[in-house]
């Protein structure tokens, strides 16, 4: 199998774009921990779709659904992120290996590092 071609756009920029349904809710009154949790959820959804596609199953999405429970279908933010991943980012197969959210007086910054999900399956 040929190695996939990954986008050249920084994964942190892609994460911010993907997480727009959450980012749109962030304001100066939102606690820092809630902002971090929002990005954690976005990264979890992102990576579940990547791993399921790499493995040719839906095990990770099933685990998320089990952990999240009924919110999977009922929470508009989670539903928006799931739909957005499938509709607008389905060809981006990079894993988000690490991410951090830092804060300064002007707001927050997101840093992320990508990895190749196929590299670990070649070992």
Q: What is the mean pLDDT of residues 60-79?
A: 80
pTM metric for this prediction: 0.89
Q: Report if residue 2 sits inside a domain.
A: no
Do the Cβ atoms of 85 and 49 come closer than 8 Å?
yes
* Residue 122 reports pLDDT greater than 60: no
* Residue 10 reports pLDDT greater than 70: yes
Q: What is the mean pLDDT of residues 2-25?
A: 90
Domain span holding position 115? 11-22+30-122
The number of distinct structural domains making up the chain is: 1
Closest CA to 41 of 21, 70, 62: 21
Q: Report if residue 64 sits inside a domain.
A: yes
Mention every residue, 6+ apart, whose C-beta is less than 8 A from residue 94.
6, 7, 11, 14, 50, 114, 115, 116, 117
Bridge partners of 113?
A: 98
Q: Report if residue 48 sits inside a domain.
A: yes
Q: Report if residue 3 sits inside a domain.
A: no
Q: Report if residue 1 sits inside a domain.
A: no
Q: What is the mean pLDDT of residues 52-76?
A: 83
Amino acid 123: pLDDT: 43
């Amino acid at each position: 199998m040929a190695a996939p071609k990954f986008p050249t756009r920084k994964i942190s920029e892609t994460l911010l774009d993907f997480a727009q349904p959450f980012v749109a809710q962030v304001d100066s009154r939102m606690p820092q921990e809630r902002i971090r949790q929002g990005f954690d959820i976005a990264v979890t959804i992102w990576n579940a779709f990547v791993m399921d596609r790499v493995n040719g199953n839906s095990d990770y999405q099933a685990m998320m659904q089990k952990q999240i429970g009924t919110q999977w279908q009922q929470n508009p933010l989670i539903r928006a992120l799931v739909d957005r991943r499938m509709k607008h980012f389905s060809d981006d197969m990079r894993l988000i290996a690490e991410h951090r959210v830092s804060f300064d007086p002007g707001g927050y910054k997101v840093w992320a590092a990508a990895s190749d999900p196929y590299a670990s399956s070649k070992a």
